[in-house]
Amino acid sequence: MDTRMYSEMHTGKWWWKLQGELEKNFPGATIIPILISSDKTRVVAFGTKSAYPVYMTIGNIPKELRRKPSQRTHILLGYLPTTPLHHVQNKASRRRMVANLFHYCVSRMTEPLKPAGETGIPMTSGDGITRHTFPIFACFVGDYPEQVLVSGCKSGDCPKCPAKRGELEQLEDRYEFRDLTKVLDALSTFENDPGGYASKCAEAGIKPIVHPFWESLPYSDVYLAITPDVLHQLYQGVMKHLISWVTAAFGQKEIDARTKCLPPNHNIRAFSKGLSSFSRLTGKEHADMCRILLGLIIDLKLPDGRSPLPLIKCVRSLLDFLYLAQYPLHTSKTLRLLKQSLEQFHKNKHIFVDLGIRENFNLPKLHSLAHYVESIQLFGTTDNYNTEYTERLHINLAKDAYRATNHRDEYSQITLWLERKEKILRHQSYLDWQSGKSTSALRPTSMEFNGTPTITKWPSVRAVDLADLVKNYGAKFFREALLRHLVISRHTGTRLTKNQVENKIVFMDLPFTSVPVYHRLKFTVATDLGQSKFTTLDAIHARPEHRSRRRALIGARFDTALLSVEPNGESENGLRGHQVGQVRVIFALPGAEDEHLAYVEWFTKFTAPDPNHRMLKVNHAFDGQERITSVVPLSSIRRSIHLIPKFGPNVPEHWTSVNVLEECSTFYLNQFSDRHMYYIA
């Protein structure tokens, strides 16, 4: 069976189908998919002053460039009026006028697309070749209110398919898109039959809007063009609901108590006051909560003694959908997993009705998940059309521009300011090219972890006594573990037995009494071709209790990491050949500061995943009554790893985020800590 891959827009079926149609009349035609997005935003921190920008980009640009505002791959088409039309007293008339005003303005902006899309226009690309191009409106990127406004459907209905407000909770095997021909026929009656126009539009399932901007755009179907919106549909939609449902089912107090006890990790936000301390949540905070949600509820019991398994399966399936939906590369297999995860949620969602938390699931954002697979097959993965990118554009093209004005008759000033800024940026690009300055590297999006282990040039503490390592760092068997490492490293050609190693270290002693210690290991990746700018992907901390510059006491932190246990140091990208260890000391040998080592306390190998929540379990690894420890090369540490304690029915009162890795003996591997961890686990 052939496996199809979906990534960039040109891997989707929409582009290939349209290419076949154009080739019949225009051999050698080049398609330019037009992506339009709109979103109203406030331009002041306090007050109601807002801007309504419309942006455009093209699908020919690689998505790795389109996702970076610094690459300036989006252009500003214009600003829409933000007037609420309060002088119109009738609310229904006011809503119709606002919708008609929107479509009229966008029609003026997109007017050049009609002749260009019908017959094509010659364009010269960066490689100097002139092509016969056809700019076609392909995708609209926006949140649900914008989708309703663009599609012309009623609020509460699905903007892509004919499903009505009260018909959204059932999951069908396949949804047909709205009939564009029927809609266009209804719209065409406006001039000839204005009296029956409203009824014709109602029969077609839309509101009586006058000449929507997409009405005359060639080869365009607005109901296909409505794309998934991970930010608003998933993070600020479905996951926001899920978190509130879970909290209502188990109680806020116990959820908060568990949240406060989670061990720290570079990828995990520290909710020191629990999840209930926020009065307003953004998409970023919902994403942070999703990383820990499943681990918080595994051992919790429902108040009425009902089995929590359906609820756990609901949480697991929606988290799977969330992470799978953001894959930068999909195959037929991963799309099948995406569909199955949504089916799993719908099979178990009755638990929320049984608990009295929900009466129904007629939620447009939940229903929209049913269209993700088909949209990915049409237009490529969801990172081609993410509203997070346009949210970021507001800073450069709306908010900063507004702040540069005197706040009176601002749009003429904003336009002038943006024109001048664009000229400055173009000239800067020319100067960079003339001076031979390297440009940003185009790195295709990957699920691989490409971080390079990086440590500071100078140690955090120049010399720590071996006795202090035992007392302050908890490195109880540091001397013995280091001697074993030295023996094994000196006999790399032979495989010594455990007894042989132990016999050799009896007569050995260390020729030093202190070692230089480092408190953090970073994993960085270069962000430019010149390898001069780096970003931190991950980090591992190993630092004892200390006081800050303001003398505040900061608890000890010894992070857990994923280490390769293969003899040659090479292992697969997944979990096979790896084991979890808690890093106690990162150090170097005196006189050999270029060779960095780590003292770790081991956990057991991963067990088989639980059949319900499918998380892997590990325990502290013991040899008799003592923890199993080793000194390993720093190169064997692959990345940090987050463990969630097995809390039991209630959290022990003495557990804290500082001591939980010592007090608890059983943990679950948190595969939702970041996207790479989900991919390999």
The set of long-range contacts for 154-159, using a CB threshold of 8 Å and a minimum separation of 24, is: 154/206, 154/207, 156/362, 156/364, 157/205, 157/364, 158/364, 158/367, 158/368, 158/371, 159/223, 159/226
pLDDT at 432: 86
The SS3 of residue 23 is: helix
Domain boundaries, the chain: 29-162+176-226, 231-379, 452-680
Q: What residues in the chain have per-residue pLDDT under 70?
A: 1, 438-445, 527-532, 567-573
Q: Could you please report the per-residue DSSP string of 147-214?
A: HHHHH-PPTTS-SSSS--GGG-SSPPS--PPP-HHHHHHHHTHHHH-GGGHHHHHHHHTS---SS-TT
- Is residue 564 within 8 Å of residue 638, measured between CB atoms? yes
Residue whose C-alpha is closest to residue 662's, from 533, 562, 558: 558
pLDDT at 529: 46
Which amino acid is residue 285, in one-letter code?
E
pLDDT at 530: 47
Which residues, including other chains, have CB under 8 Å from residue 100's CB and lie 6 or more apart? 209, 210
Q: How many CB atoms lie within 10 A of CB 78?
A: 16
- Cα 153 from Cα 167, distance rounded (Å): 14
CA 441 to chain centre: 21
- Is residue 628 within 8 Å of residue 622, measured between CB atoms? yes
| Owner of token pair 């459907």 | 153
For 370-420, what is the HEC assignment? HHHHHHHHHHCCHHHCCHHHHHHHHHHHHHHHHHCCCCCCHHHHHHHHHHH
pLDDT at 543: 97
- Cα 565 from Cα 569, distance rounded (Å): 7
Q: pTM of the entire structure?
A: 0.94
> Residues 476-495: pLDDT tens digits?
999 999 999 999 888 877 77
> Residues 269-283: pLDDT tens digits?
999 999 988 878 899
pLDDT at 286: 95
pLDDT at 570: 54
- Is residue 210 within 8 Å of residue 197, measured between CB atoms? no
- Cα 125 from Cα 513, distance rounded (Å): 66
Q: How many CA atoms lie within 13 A of 49 on its CB side?
A: 14
Which residues, including other chains, have CB under 8 Å from residue 345's CB and lie 6 or more apart? 313, 314, 317, 318, 321
Residue whose C-alpha is closest to residue 110's, from 2, 163, 37, 182: 37
